[in-house]
Chains A and B, each alone.
Chain A
């Protein structure tokens, strides 16, 4: 009981704008095969499975009925969370720490290119009595939040544009990224407005992809062929989702999730104790808002200055989204958090190739479920 938990295998499909030659089951099969090979295990050894998906974006009702075959999960315990993949990691950690199972697999994917009306589907997430009748595009919520956030913090539109330039430039070194681009902030600022002050180029474009992660209790994680990366802390919370009474400035769901994760990891000073951050950047301003909520910048305005002066770049003293983030890799629905996590695992193992950071002992992955939600998760990993 309560033994430590490690990630012993990760399988990542390269994110791509579309994937029409593959079914979602084949994508899962590919990522699962990679993950099991990476962990040095056979599918039959896995004792429990968690998939993360949302029926309406799958275009299938009761999606959890569609997941066992392609993971090797037939006649095994499995369930689906309608949440981002990092919630699946939290779920797996709890299962392993209970002592009931010793080997758990977590999966999430995106088949976004199959959605013909993604904005309308997102609209179904708005309150049907108070908000949906207004017939706004749901990205308006991001525009409203960004405007209030910039006004309250003094962070500028140019600094948000710099986040896009940084992350998409980072993605040039990531073979799994769908949207690598050598960009400057000025290029981003010439992009048209989507929902003022949010520009079109500041919203992560969608991509298809799949990630499978294998987790084990300490007794299973020791064999020399696995390179265990230890889970030091996990947190997940929701703020009030209600538009009328939520906090529109501070990402309190991340502040609370981070407090949980820091507490478990014994982290007192995240800036000094964490080497790299992979945080949600579904919209450029969100990276800055999430870093503030993670307690990295006691004064929010410093988050804007840090991206401007390169501190949060790959060569900076506190690298953020070296993978390219969702802006560079592409937004992969519920798999977004697992792409963040996969990068931390890769960096901590020293397997990040051209984008390998010189110091990568402790890393933090953070996810947000997108508008209109206030769901967020934080996972801290250590070597």
Chain B
């Protein structure tokens, strides 16, 4: 690792470049396949605790059982919490805040974190506001969480 000498002899700069592959797994592939091919949001339901996980998962974290029952969530949901970030991912100040929300979709018992789209007037958003997921057109979907553009407020 080449070092750059800083401030006389006190500090040296270096970096660790890390690149990885990440696997979605059986549960995750089920979600991404339905999203990419059909534009649908699927989850899995635990037969013991009745939690409906969206995105779908292979196992229930509470009951420690396999999840086999697939359910489809609706793109409509309700905001459980929201925030406006005035900083970018590395801490730099943003001129225009980026809105995000935790949304519980109809048919799900869990929440999804995503962007809140086209929020011009911040005072119009509140916990309990209704939203709809905006899904990219089929030709642009690749099987990623970004195939969902975000949530848009429903008037």
A-to-B contact residues, CB < 8 Å: 20-21, 56, 59, 61, 114, 116-120, 123-124, 128-131, 133-140, 143-148, 151, 192-198, 240, 242-245, 248
Which one of A117, A129, A136, A192 lies within 8 Å of B100 (CB-CB)?
A: A136
The distance from the CB of A289 to the nearest CB of chain B, in whole angstroms, is 13
Given the interface contacts A144-B81, A148-B80, A194-B87, does A129 sit within 8 Å of B14 by beta carbon?
Answer: no
8 pairs of A and B residues whose beta carbons are closest in the complex: A143-B83, A148-B81, A196-B84, A128-B22, A119-B91, A244-B110, A245-B110, A144-B81
Measured between alpha carbons, how far is A120 from B15 in the docked complex, in Å? Answer: 13
Tell me if A20 and B11 are in contact (CB < 8 A). yes
Tell me if B91 and A136 are in contact (CB < 8 A). no
Can you identify 13 A-B contacts, CB atoms within 8 angstroms?
A: A119-B89, A128-B22, A129-B22, A129-B28, A134-B100, A137-B88, A140-B83, A143-B83, A144-B102, A151-B81, A193-B97, A198-B83, A245-B53
Q: Which residues of B contact A146 (CB under 8 A)?
A: 83
The distance from the CB of A172 to the nearest CB of chain B, in whole angstroms, is 28
B-to-A contact residues, CB < 8 Å: 7, 10-11, 13-14, 16, 18, 20, 22-24, 28, 51, 53-55, 61-62, 80-91, 97-98, 100-102, 110-115, 122, 127, 144-146
The distance from the CB of B60 to the nearest CB of chain A, in whole angstroms, is 9
Measured between alpha carbons, how far is A143 from B91 in the docked complex, in Å? Answer: 14
Measured between alpha carbons, how far is A134 from B102 in the docked complex, in Å? Answer: 13
Tell me if A144 and B83 are in contact (CB < 8 A). yes
Tell me if B91 and A196 are in contact (CB < 8 A). no
Given the interface contacts A120-B90, A144-B82, A245-B53, does A133 sit within 8 Å of B144 by beta carbon?
Answer: yes
Tell me if A244 and B85 are in contact (CB < 8 A). no
Q: A129-B145, A134-B146 are in contact. List 13 more A-B contacts (CB 8 A).
A: A119-B87, A134-B115, A136-B85, A139-B87, A143-B83, A143-B84, A147-B81, A193-B86, A195-B86, A244-B112, A244-B113, A245-B53, A248-B102
The distance from the CB of A317 to the nearest CB of chain B, in whole angstroms, is 33
Tell me if B100 and A242 are in contact (CB < 8 A). no
Q: Which residues of A contact B54 (CB under 8 A)?
A: 244
Given the interface contacts A143-B83, A193-B84, does A245 sit within 8 Å of B61 by beta carbon?
Answer: yes
> A145 — nearest CB in chain B belongs to which residue?
B81
Q: Which residues of A contact B85 (CB under 8 A)?
A: 136-137, 139-140, 143, 194-196
Q: Which residues of A contact B113 (CB under 8 A)?
A: 130-131, 134, 136, 144, 243-244
Measured between alpha carbons, how far is A143 from B122 in the docked complex, in Å? Answer: 15
Given the interface contacts A128-B20, A136-B100, A137-B85, does A244 sit within 8 Å of B111 by beta carbon?
Answer: yes
Tell me if B114 and A134 are in contact (CB < 8 A). yes
Tell me if A151 and B127 are in contact (CB < 8 A). yes
Tell me if A148 and B102 are in contact (CB < 8 A). yes
The distance from the CB of B25 to the nearest CB of chain A, in whole angstroms, is 9
Tell me if A129 and B24 are in contact (CB < 8 A). yes
> B81 — nearest CB in chain A belongs to which residue?
A148
Tell me if B10 and A20 are in contact (CB < 8 A). yes
Q: Which residues of B contact A59 (CB under 8 A)?
A: 14, 16
Tell me if B83 and A130 are in contact (CB < 8 A). no
Measured between alpha carbons, how far is A379 from B59 in the docked complex, in Å? Answer: 33
Measured between alpha carbons, how far is A125 from B22 in the docked complex, in Å? Answer: 13
Measured between alpha carbons, how far is A151 from B79 in the docked complex, in Å? Answer: 12
Q: Which residues of A contact B98 (CB under 8 A)?
A: 136
Measured between alpha carbons, how far is A56 from B91 in the docked complex, in Å? Answer: 18
The distance from the CB of A336 to the nearest CB of chain B, in whole angstroms, is 19
Given the interface contacts A129-B28, A134-B114, A134-B145, does A116 sit within 8 Å of B84 by beta carbon?
Answer: no
Measured between alpha carbons, how far is A169 from B122 in the docked complex, in Å? Answer: 33
The distance from the CB of A155 to the nearest CB of chain B, in whole angstroms, is 14
Measured between alpha carbons, how far is A130 from B32 in the docked complex, in Å? Answer: 10
Which one of B89, B110, B111 lies within 8 Å of A135 (CB-CB)?
A: B89
The distance from the CB of A324 to the nearest CB of chain B, in whole angstroms, is 24
Tell me if A192 and B86 are in contact (CB < 8 A). yes
Measured between alpha carbons, how far is A137 from B90 in the docked complex, in Å? Answer: 7
Given the interface contacts A20-B11, A195-B87, does A248 sit within 8 Å of B81 by beta carbon?
Answer: yes
Q: Which residues of A contact B83 (CB under 8 A)?
A: 140, 143-144, 146-147, 195-198
The distance from the CB of A138 to the nearest CB of chain B, in whole angstroms, is 8
Measured between alpha carbons, how far is A91 from B22 in the docked complex, in Å? Answer: 32
Given the interface contacts A134-B145, A195-B84, A196-B83, does A242 sit within 8 Å of B61 by beta carbon?
Answer: yes
